[in-house]
């Protein structure tokens, strides 16, 4: 009942073609690349001027036990407020960036917080990327200035910084420094305290990011990170955290500062 299945017979052998004589591969000329001759020489330059001062202050900063603390600040309302005030400020001939708000609120936060620095004058230093390198001029007596007056001072310092004309009076006497590295880029930093000051804050780049609001809805928020460094011999973590919370809460609800601004 079954048919036997047999494999097909093998195909008849085909006589293989005679092997072709091998043709030599065409010779490709090797390119002659002249060996580069590097004539550059290392240069040794004396460290002087502002750079020398930076070496000195930053070396003495090494002796400070730095305590680092970072947080996120939602600047959405401040962005709105600043865009409302920007035109008004420009009509008075003055550029209004976020820095005057950051500086003023640092000042009122300190006034309301535990007084950790017994200095009467709040001369807020501002790390500035100038033609002469990093300089830290300060705005004197921020406690007596309005946000607009701080903007005026800041513009004056920026013009001097850009033309390499910042003088000793603007560069000395600071009591606290803010470094807006975010105007160039980056989110977090590890700022180094400028002795004899005891704290510094670095501001990261403000970015539009998704966040949940108090109702649980997904919203677009203008987020900036702040990185504080404090001298832990003088300022403990809880004090720094309370100060940062207060500073952040003013920035997140800028209308509230109207009650406390002097
Ligand atoms: N995130 C996003 N945008 C920012 C920003 C931030 N953190 N900071 C500033 N900007 C925006 C400003 O709003 C402004 O935008 P508009 O043109 O729309 O107004 C623009 O960037 C330019 O601002 P600016 O630099 O002219 O002004 P500023 O007051 O914000 O900053 C200064 C002044 C002196 C802090 C800054 O020019 C600078 O030098 N930054 C570098 C600081 C630095 O080097 N730190 C490191 C120290 S440790 O080595």
Distance CA 166, CA 135 (A): 9
Cα pseudo-dihedral 194, 199, 204, 209, rounded to 10: 180
Average pLDDT score over the chain: 88
- Pick the closest to residue 64 from 229, 187, 207 (CA basis): 229
Q: Which atom of ligand 1 is nearest to the CA of 95?
A: 19
Say which of 66, 231, 236, 260 is annotated catalytic: 236
SS3 222: strand
Say yes or no: CB of residue 130 within 6 Å of ligand 1: no
Q: What is the DSSP string of 94-140?
A: ----SHHHHHHHHHHHHHHS------SS--EEE-EEETTEEE--EET
- pLDDT tens for 227-248 read 999 999 988 999 899 999 999 9
- pLDDT tens for 50-86 read 899 999 999 999 999 999 999 999 999 999 999 999 9
Which range is least confidently modeled, 21-35, 53-67, 123-137, 198-212?
A: 21-35
pLDDT of residue 19 exceeding 70: no
pLDDT of residue 115: 44
* Residue minimizing CA distance to atom 45 of ligand 1: 181
Categorize the per-residue pLDDT at 112 as very low, low, confident or very high, splitting at 50, 70 and 90.
very low
pLDDT of residue 260: 72
ipTM of this complex: 0.94
- Pick the closest to residue 137 from 248, 50, 258, 21 (CA basis): 50
Cα of 6 from ligand 1 centre, angstroms? 87
Please tell me which residue, 93 or 3, carries the higher pLDDT value: 93
Cα of 182 from ligand 1 centre, angstroms? 6
- Pick the closest to residue 226 from 98, 116, 68, 65 (CA basis): 68
The DSSP symbol for 182 reads G
φ and ψ of 229, to 5 deg: -125, 135
- The domain defined by 65-255 carries CATH number 3.30.559.10: yes
Within 10 Å of residue 219's Cβ, how many Cβ atoms? 13
* Residue minimizing CA distance to atom 19 of ligand 1: 97
Using a cut of 0.90, tell me whether the model's pTM lies above it.
no
Say yes or no: CB of residue 183 within 6 Å of ligand 1: yes
Average pLDDT score over residue span 195-210: 95
């Amino acid at each position: 009942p079954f048919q036997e299945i047999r494999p097909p017979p093998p195909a008849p052998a085909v006589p293989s073609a005679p092997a072709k004589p091998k043709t030599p591969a065409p010779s490709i000329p090797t390119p002659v690349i002249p060996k580069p001759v590097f004539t550059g020489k290392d240069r040794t330059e004396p460290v002087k001027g502002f750079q020398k001062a930076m070496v000195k202050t930053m070396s003495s900063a090494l002796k400070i036990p730095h305590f680092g603390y970072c947080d996120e600040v939602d600047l959405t309302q401040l962005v709105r407020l600043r865009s409302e005030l920007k035109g008004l400020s420009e009509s008075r001939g003055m550029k209004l960036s976020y820095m005057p708000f950051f500086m003023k609120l640092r000042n009122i936060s300190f006034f309301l917080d535990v007084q950790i620095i017994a200095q009467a004058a709040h001369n807020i230093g501002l790390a500035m990327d100038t033609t002469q390198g990093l300089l830290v001029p300060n705005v004197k007596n921020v406690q007596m200035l309005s946000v607009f007056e701080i903007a005026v001072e800041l513009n004056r310092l920026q013009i001097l910084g850009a033309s390499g004309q910042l003088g000793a009076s603007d560069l000395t006497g600071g009591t606290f420094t803010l470094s807006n590295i975010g105007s160039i880029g980056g989110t977090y930093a590890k700022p180094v305290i400028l002795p004899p000051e005891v704290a510094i804050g670095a501001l990261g780049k403000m970015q539009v990011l998704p966040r949940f609001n108090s109702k649980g809805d997904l919203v677009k928020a203008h987020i900036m990170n702040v990185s504080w460094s404090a001298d832990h011999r003088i300022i403990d973590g809880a004090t720094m955290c309370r100060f940062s919370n207060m500073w952040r809460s003013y920035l997140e609800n800028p209308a509230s500062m109207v009650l406390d601004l002097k």
